[in-house]
Structure 1
Amino acid sequence: MALQWMILTYVVAAEAALAFLLTLPAPKLLKNQFVSLVSLILQPALFIVPFAGFQLLDIYWKNEHRLSCTSEICTAAERDRYEKSIYKAQRNVILCASACLLYWCLIRICKYYKDIQKLEEVEKRYKEE
């Protein structure tokens, strides 16, 4: 189970790094090449959305079937373990949501750059006429 969360963490870190690099100012030629490379990577990277969705379903199922420690006979160690599992679940929900949100942001950033490039080409054609 920890391997899945480690993979998701690395994917979120990579998505954040790509989003940061895409938003940095760079020469036009370099930016166009980088945007086209990221666009090619985004197609096969779509697996992250259903993967994160499955992880969210797993968190939900475990939350519904978790033994609660609310009675007075629970020891301090049991109560700490219960609270720790709740905090881990909350962290993992944020991780899944950020994976999907960052993927969407990367798609939108690439689309905006491509739209700007097309508009610049149209403007260039109108200026030539």
Structure 2
Amino acid sequence: MPSNALRILLVEDHPFQLIATQCLLRSFGFEQLCPAENAEQAIRLMTLAETPFDIILCDQCLPDLPGLELIEIASRRHFIRAAILLSGLPEVELSALQTQAQERGLPLHGCLSKPLNKDEFERLIRSLPTL
């Protein structure tokens, strides 16, 4: 599947960041975006989706649930195929989250700092197993 055909669930609680990230993703060639402002809304969208999302691109610091916990719920319910955390947290904390995800068997393929960087995002997309 071409990377720009990927269905991406974007979860970000800050309205400006949500819009800005959608604009960036579209400028990178990704058009199949489904935005959610919190974990509750994301779970609702995943439940209603006919097929799993290819990727959940999720903020770690959501108001109703940490991003890693949302990824675990989504993964256990087979709502997603892969996950990427997007966060303003320091690199050491992102690294710890990556380790926790590995230990829990979650499909987290990386953590990216805000704002989203095209080269880093595309590198992670290329590293995903065939979706």
TM-score by length of 1: 0.23
- Higher normalized contact order (CA 8 Å, seq sep 6+, divided by chain length): 1
TM-score by length of 2: 0.23
Higher relative helix content: 1
Q: Which has the larger radius of gyration?
A: 1
